[in-house]
A = this chain, B = another copy of it.
Amino acid sequence: MYQFWNDSAFEVKIRDYRRDFHKYAEVKWTEFRTASIVAQRLDNLGIRTLLGEEMSVKGFQFAYPDDESRDAEIARAIRQGGDPETIEKMDGLPGAVGIIEGGKPGPVIAFRFDMDALLTTESDTLDHYPRKEGFRSVNEGYCHACGHDGHTAMGLGLAEVLMANRENLCGTVKLIFQPSEEGGGGARGIVARGILDDVKYFFAVHVGLTKLDGLPLGQHGLICGVKDLLDSRRYDFRFRGKAAHSAGDPHVGKNALLASCHASMAIHSIPPHSEGVMRLNVGVQQAGVVRNAVPADGYIQVDMRAENDVVGEYAERRVQQVVAGAAAMYENELETTLIGKTCAAASDDEAITLVRRASESVDWFTEIHDVGSAGGTDDAAEMIRRVQRNGGMASYAGLGCDFAAGFHNEAFDFDESVMIPSIRLLNRVVELAGEHARENEQ
C-alpha cells in the first residue's frame, strides 16, 4: 500500500482542504458548499455517495432556517464555488454519506465527520493564525471555532487512503459527513434514514478534546473513548401576560416579568438526581419593554444536561412543571418551544480497546488514555445509541493537540499536524475492526 504518511503532498492536500472549509465557514443547515465539495471529491475517488433524502429524512431537524434564508445561503454557497447540480440533489439537506465496499468480506464500519461552523465572528487580530495564513472566514459572523473543518478534511483523507487499498479492505466503510452538529440535530435524520442500521463498528472523533479533560497532556494525546456524552435538552419558554399602567391600573396587569422570575428561580432549585449528574441553566431572561408598565412578556432560555436518559427526563419534566406553575401564578399564557435535544451516550469498552490498539501503530500519539471526559454533548450520541441497540459497538475518541483558544472562542485554532496521524489511526481502526469481526465470528 502506498504510504500516505510520508507523502508531504498528501499532507498539504489535507491541510488545504481544511483551510478551504475554514475560509468558507457555513453554519448549521447551510453547509451546502462544504457538502458539495465533499460529495464531488468522493465521486472523483469513485465512491458511491448518498445525498439529500437518500441519506437523511426531513422533519428531524432543529432550528432549520426558513425558505428565504436557506435559499440565500444556497445562493451564497454556489457563489463561493459549491456545485449547483450537487446542491440541487441535496434537496435542502446538506450532508453526504460515502460508501466504500471493500474487496473482501467483513463488517460495516462507519465514521462520523461533522462539518458545521458556529455563529461567531472570527478573531481578526494579527496573531490569529488563520488570518496570518489567509484562511480566516470570509463569511462574517460564521467561524469554524470547534474544529469541524479539520474533521471534514480528515474524512476526505481517510476516503483516499481507504480507496487506495480497497481490494484488501475487509467489509464496508461508511463515511458520514454530517451537517449541523451544533444544535441542529443533524444526526437524527441520518439515523432515521437507517444509515446506521447495519453498522457494527462506529467511530466519531473530535480534535483537541483532551484539553477539556484537564489531563496533563502535551500536544500529542489520545482519548480512546469517552463515556459521558451528556443528554441535552434545550427549551425556550415565553410568558404572555397583560400590560397595564403600573401606577394607574396595576391590578389590571398580568405580570410576565414576575412569572419568569419565579420560573428561573424555581428551575435552579430543582433538586439533583441521585442517579446521575444534572446541569440546569437559565441562560437568558428578558421581560418588559417600558419602565412604567406591568410587563406583558417574559422569555427564558433553558439548558438541561444530564448524565443519562433517566435524569434527562426528570429534568425536562420538572422544568415544565415549574414553568407551568409560575405562569399560572400570574395568570400568564405559556408558550413552550423545543429548541433541540440530544441523547446521552457512552463508548464501549471493546471499541475503546480497538482504538488503543490502533494507536500502537501511530507513534505520533504519545499520551494515551483509555477513557476521558468530553464534558459536553455531541449528537454523534444518536448514532452511537443506534449502533449499540443493534448489537454493534462504538467509540467517541478525542484527538489531543495544541490549540490557540478554547472551543467556541473566536480565536480558536488547532494544530493541523494532528490530521495525518489521525487519518492513520482511523485507517488502522478499520483494519482492526475487520480482524475483530473475524475473530468473533469464529
User: In the complex the two chains form, is A284's CB within 8 Å of B279's CB?
Assistant: no
User: In the complex the two chains form, is B268's CB within 8 Å of A269's CB?
Assistant: yes
- The digit string for A382-407, where 1 denotes a CB below 8 A from any CB of B, is 00000000000000000000000000
Q: Please, how many angstroms separate the alpha-carbon atoms of A330 and B314 in the complex?
A: 13
A272 on interface, CB distance cutoff 8 Å: yes
Given contacts A247-B305, A328-B321, contact A285 B261 (CB under 8 A): yes
User: In the complex the two chains form, is A247's CB within 8 Å of B288's CB?
Assistant: no
In A284-324, the 8 Å CB interface with B consists of: 284-295, 301-303, 305, 314, 321-322, 324
User: In the complex the two chains form, is A247's CB within 8 Å of B329's CB?
Assistant: no
- The digit string for A320-346, where 1 denotes a CB below 8 A from any CB of B, is 011011111111000000010000000
A271 on interface, CB distance cutoff 8 Å: yes
Which B residues lie within 8 Å of A295 (CB)?
282-285
Given contacts A262-B266, A325-B330, A326-B325, contact A288 B284 (CB under 8 A): yes
A250 on interface, CB distance cutoff 8 Å: yes
A265 on interface, CB distance cutoff 8 Å: yes
Per the CB 8 Å criterion, the residue count for chain A at the interface is 64
User: In the complex the two chains form, is B268's CB within 8 Å of A251's CB?
Assistant: no
Q: Please, how many angstroms separate the alpha-carbon atoms of A301 and B288 in the complex?
A: 9
A273 on interface, CB distance cutoff 8 Å: yes
A353 on interface, CB distance cutoff 8 Å: no
User: In the complex the two chains form, is A250's CB within 8 Å of B234's CB?
Assistant: no
Of A8-16, A78-86, A171-179, A252-260, the one touching chain B: A252-260
- A278 to chain B: closest residue by CB: B272
* Minimal beta-carbon separation of A372 from chain B (angstroms): 14
User: In the complex the two chains form, is A303's CB within 8 Å of B291's CB?
Assistant: yes
Q: Please, how many angstroms separate the alpha-carbon atoms of A324 and B301 in the complex?
A: 24
User: In the complex the two chains form, is A291's CB within 8 Å of B285's CB?
Assistant: no
User: In the complex the two chains form, is A286's CB within 8 Å of B283's CB?
Assistant: no
User: In the complex the two chains form, is B271's CB within 8 Å of A251's CB?
Assistant: yes
A3 on interface, CB distance cutoff 8 Å: no
User: In the complex the two chains form, is A262's CB within 8 Å of B329's CB?
Assistant: yes
A375 on interface, CB distance cutoff 8 Å: yes
Given contacts A268-B268, A321-B329, contact A285 B283 (CB under 8 A): no
Copies of this protein in the assembly total 4
Q: Please, how many angstroms separate the alpha-carbon atoms of A430 and B282 in the complex?
A: 55
User: In the complex the two chains form, is A234's CB within 8 Å of B284's CB?
Assistant: no
A108 on interface, CB distance cutoff 8 Å: no
User: In the complex the two chains form, is A291's CB within 8 Å of B257's CB?
Assistant: no
Which B residues lie within 8 Å of A212 (CB)?
248
Which B residues lie within 8 Å of A375 (CB)?
247-248
Given contacts A269-B265, A271-B250, contact A285 B282 (CB under 8 A): no
- A339 to chain B: closest residue by CB: B291
User: In the complex the two chains form, is B269's CB within 8 Å of A269's CB?
Assistant: yes
Given contacts A246-B303, A303-B246, A328-B324, contact A271 B253 (CB under 8 A): yes
A274 on interface, CB distance cutoff 8 Å: yes
- The digit string for A145-183, where 1 denotes a CB below 8 A from any CB of B, is 000000000000000000000000000000000000000
Q: Please, how many angstroms separate the alpha-carbon atoms of A375 and B258 in the complex?
A: 24
User: In the complex the two chains form, is A285's CB within 8 Å of B286's CB?
Assistant: yes
User: In the complex the two chains form, is B282's CB within 8 Å of A288's CB?
Assistant: yes
A411 on interface, CB distance cutoff 8 Å: no
* Minimal beta-carbon separation of A193 from chain B (angstroms): 28
- The digit string for A223-259, where 1 denotes a CB below 8 A from any CB of B, is 0000000100010000000000011111111010110
* Minimal beta-carbon separation of A304 from chain B (angstroms): 9
User: In the complex the two chains form, is A288's CB within 8 Å of B291's CB?
Assistant: no
User: In the complex the two chains form, is B246's CB within 8 Å of A281's CB?
Assistant: yes
- A310 to chain B: closest residue by CB: B251
Q: Please, how many angstroms separate the alpha-carbon atoms of A337 and B215 in the complex?
A: 41
Top 3 A-B residue pairs of the complex, sorted by shortest distance between their CB atoms: A325-B329, A246-B281, A250-B271
Q: Given A261-B261, A284-B295, A325-B330, list of 14 further CB < 8 A pairs?
A: A230-B247, A246-B279, A246-B283, A249-B274, A251-B275, A258-B264, A258-B266, A258-B268, A265-B269, A268-B271, A284-B290, A286-B286, A321-B329, A322-B330
